[in-house]
């Protein structure tokens, strides 16, 4: 069943079998047995080793997306990812390090050891995978991924190394192109449903998507697409235009195409949005408008056709108009290598990454497997992570990735869990875990899908937030990594404590007896006769030795703050003071304040209090009112 790729030296024959899909190795006969892999029937006779070719190489004439073709394994998603990888030299050199040194050199045969070294981004770390040079064959032909050049083997060896990482070849039967690209690059993957976005009908949205894909592609992003079958038995069915359903295609180019002769096209600025794809089978192309030999290409100059590399052979690569692409495909995966370098002309992202786990425990305070938001009684038992948005408004990218489940397929498991996350805006000084949903504001959440990675792009206002990653079902356990990208550092960290812990100083300074949350809604009625029409208002909220500053509301006299703070109070007799200040160029001006006692028996409804001058709670009143809600409790794990 298996052939040896390089058999020039005895040491290559003695190399051990590393791949888990070949668990049984008979040293006497040098046979391999596929045990329950489902790839090759176990009853097939064992075949001895023999050479595939006389002059094998990793690469022949360089690396290209045309080098590889899918074999007798349902891993078109992997082959499509390899096609994308081949487009970026800086990326594939990470996966196949020192390729030239690893290759067979007939001038220095003594340096060849019969092993190959690959690297994959495996759950947040670059992992080395070493394999021998044996590849599975039938009748001297490679069974799985292969090149269109008989003596080129980089794709077959890369596939074997990736199968070892996943557990076996069978684990590669069915998958997601974005997962493979992430494993090749460490990129952040974003999945877009073209039907939900209505990109095929709304021209404005279609144009925005094209520009986004073009920017991602030009900056080294890798893109793939597919057509979701309407019903399960339509998988691998073909559309009238020749596209295969349930099949992954790699995007190899995105261009704005000039129509007509070059000079005329330049002045008329007549352009067409175009996208090029490759079928991993190396054949079966789109036969609609702009297919290889369609009449539409007559509208394009000969020079432009040559520039596009148009080929009329059935090599699996073809162009489409972007509008046809939006109407034909249902899903697209964009894998971006987000720029985190400060030495760049492009946008630089601040990256934060944490590792976590959903772990089940009977103790509610120790349980970290609470399930999705549908399970309101247990939801807040999940891991919680706090982060800050330090700009007035910031674009945020969030990627939640669960541990790869494919290595467990041989144990009868291996399916992805349904995962997702929720984001809540919390108090500006929150340092302990949330315990009640009713007093928090849910801002946004991801979709919940049985995918290895869930992605969200959103815009958040200045403040403090908590993100809660979850499995859909409570009690399920797994590991995850959470990546957060912002414009300025977010200080992402896990909230592990439920309340302040007693320390040595507690005997001297006391331990909190009460927790109070203030939600300050607005300030109004400040406009005085003859005074300034506008002010730059902000709040200082004080309790004991702790003080919290709100953001500044510029050029207003009636300001909406929607600011929350929380205090764990050691001396419940100390009141909470909320001061309103006007930010000035040289010296800020005090406007007024309110004093709150914060008793558990106080009303939790929104109330309006008169602003007063500095001093005691009964200090003289000043113009203006402050609206707020106060929630207090002596149970430190209630809020």
Q: Which of 75, 176, 279, 416 is catalytic?
A: 279
Task: Report the DSSP pairing between strands 419-426 and 453-471.
Answer: antiparallel
Tokens of 187: 């990129």
Using alpha carbons, select from 444, 427, 456 the residue that is nearest to residue 548: 427
Count CB neighbours of 530 within 10 A. Answer: 4
Instruction: State yes or no: is 76 an active-site residue.
Output: yes
Contacts 24+ apart (CB under 8 A), 172-175: 172/73, 172/75, 172/78, 172/406, 173/38, 173/39, 173/73, 173/74, 173/75, 174/74, 174/75, 174/77, 175/75, 175/77, 175/78, 175/406
* 53 assigned to active site: no
Structure tokens at 252: 């190899």
Give how far Cα 533 sits from Cα of 524, 538, 626, Å: 13, 16, 18
CB 65 within 8 A of CB 253: no
Nearest to 225 by CA among 366, 78, 332, 110: 332
How would you classify residue 73: left for phi > 0, otherwise alpha for psi between -120 and 50, otherwise beta?
Answer: beta
Half-sphere exposure of 15 (CA within 13 A, CB side): 23
DSSP 415: P
Name the pairing type of β-strands 535-543 and 493-494.
unpaired
CA–CA dist 338, 494 (Å, integer): 23
Q: CA 120 to CA 312: how far, in whole Å?
A: 36
Which of 331, 329, 333 lies closest to 318 in space, CA to CA?
329
Pairing of strands 385-402, 271-278: unpaired
Cβ atoms within 10 A of the Cβ of 218, count?
10
- Are 371 and 446 in contact by the 8 Å Cβ rule? The answer is no
| Closest alpha carbon to 182 in 406, 452, 418 | 452
Coil, strand, or helix at residue 157? helix
What is the C-alpha separation between 484 and 393, in angstroms, rounded?
Answer: 16
Catalytic annotation, pick one of 3, 76, 168, 543? 76
Known active-site residue 279: yes
Q: What is the rounded distance in angstroms from the CA atom of residue 411 to the CA atom of residue 111?
A: 39
Q: Give the SS3 label for residue 411.
A: helix
Report the alpha-carbon distance of residue 285 to residue 524 in Å, rounded: 66
Catalytic entry in 57, 69, 217, 247 = 247
- For residue 83, give both structure tokens: 């096609």
Q: What HEC string does 62-120 produce?
A: CCCCCCEECCCCCCHHHHHHHHHHCCCHHHHHHHCCCHHHHCCCCCCHHHCCCEEEEEE
Catalytic residues: 76, 247, 279
């Amino acid at each position: 069943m298996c052939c040896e790729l390089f058999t020039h030296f005895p040491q290559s024959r003695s190399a051990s079998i590393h791949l888990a899909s070949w668990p049984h190795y008979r040293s006497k006969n040098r046979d391999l047995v596929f045990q329950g892999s489902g790839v090759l029937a176990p009853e097939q006779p064992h075949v001895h080793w023999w050479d595939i070719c006389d002059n094998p190489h990793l690469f022949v004439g360089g690396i290209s997306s045309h080098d590889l073709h899918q074999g007798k394994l349902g891993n078109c998603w992997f082959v499509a990812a390899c096609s994308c990888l081949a487009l970026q030299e800086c990326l594939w050199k990470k996966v196949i390090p020192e390729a030239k040194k690893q290759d067979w050199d007939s001038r220095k045969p003594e340096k060849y050891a019969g092993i190959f070294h690959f690297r994959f981004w495996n759950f947040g770390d670059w992992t080395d995978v070493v394999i021998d040079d044996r590849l599975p064959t039938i009748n001297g032909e490679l069974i799985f991924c292969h090149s269109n050049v008989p003596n080129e083997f980089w794709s077959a060896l890369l596939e074997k190394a990736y199968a070892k990482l996943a557990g076996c070849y069978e684990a590669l039967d069915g998958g997601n192109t974005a997962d493979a690209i992430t494993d090749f690059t460490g990129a952040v993957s974003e999945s877009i449903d073209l039907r939900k976005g209505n990109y095929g009908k709304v021209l404005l949205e279609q144009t925005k998507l094209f520009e986004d894909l073009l920017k991602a592609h030009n900056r080294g992003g890798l893109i793939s697409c597919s057509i979701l079958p309407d019903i399960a038995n339509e998988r691998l069915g073909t559309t009238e235009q020749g596209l295969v359903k349930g099949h992954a295609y790699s995007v190899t180019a995105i261009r704005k195409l000039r129509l007509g002769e070059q000079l005329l096209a330049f002045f008329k600025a007549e352009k067409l949005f175009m996208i090029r794809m490759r079928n991993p089978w190396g054949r079966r192309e789109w036969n609609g408008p702009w297919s290889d030999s369609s009449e539409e290409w007559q509208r394009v100059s000969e020079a432009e056709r040559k520039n596009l590399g148009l080929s009329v052979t059935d090599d699996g690569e073809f162009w489409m108009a972007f509008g046809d692409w939006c109407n034909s495909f249902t899903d697209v995966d964009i894998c971006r290598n987000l720029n985190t370098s400060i030495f760049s002309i492009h946008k630089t992202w601040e990256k934060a990454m944490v590792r976590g786990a959903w772990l089940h425990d009977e103790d509610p305070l120790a349980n970290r497997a609470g399930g999705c938001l549908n399970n309101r009684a247990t939801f807040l038992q999940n891991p919680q992570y706090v982060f800050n948005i330090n700009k007035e408004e910031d674009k945020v990218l969030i990627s939640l990735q669960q541990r790869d489940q494919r290595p467990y397929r041989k144990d009868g498991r291996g399916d992805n869990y349904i995962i997702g996350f929720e984001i809540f805006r919390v108090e500006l000084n929150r340092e302990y875990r949330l315990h009640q949903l009713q007093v928090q504001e849910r801002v946004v959440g991801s979709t919940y899908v049985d995918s290895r990675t869930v992605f969200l792009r959103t815009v958040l206002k200045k403040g403090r937030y908590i993100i809660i990653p979850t499995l859909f079902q409570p009690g399920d356990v797994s590991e995850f990594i959470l990546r957060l990208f912002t414009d300025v550092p977010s200080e992402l960290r896990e909230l592990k404590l439920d309340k302040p812990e007693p320390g040595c100083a507690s005997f001297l300074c006391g331990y909190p007896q009460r927790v109070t949350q203030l939600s300050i809604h607005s300030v109004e009625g400040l406009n005085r006769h003859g005074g300034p029409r506008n002010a730059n208002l902000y709040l200082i909220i004080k309790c004991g030795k702790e003080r919290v500053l709100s953001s500044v509301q510029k050029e207003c006299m009636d300001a909406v703050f929607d600011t929350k703070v929380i205090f764990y109070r050691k001396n419940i007799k100390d009141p909470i003071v909320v001061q309103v200040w006007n930010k000035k160029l040289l010296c800020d001006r005090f406007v007024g304040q309110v004093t709150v006692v914060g008793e558990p028996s106080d009303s939790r409804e929104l109330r309006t209090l008169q602003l007063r001058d500095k001093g005691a709670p009964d200090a003289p009143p000043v113009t203006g009112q402050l609206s707020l809600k106060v929630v207090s409790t002596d149970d430190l794990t209630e809020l």
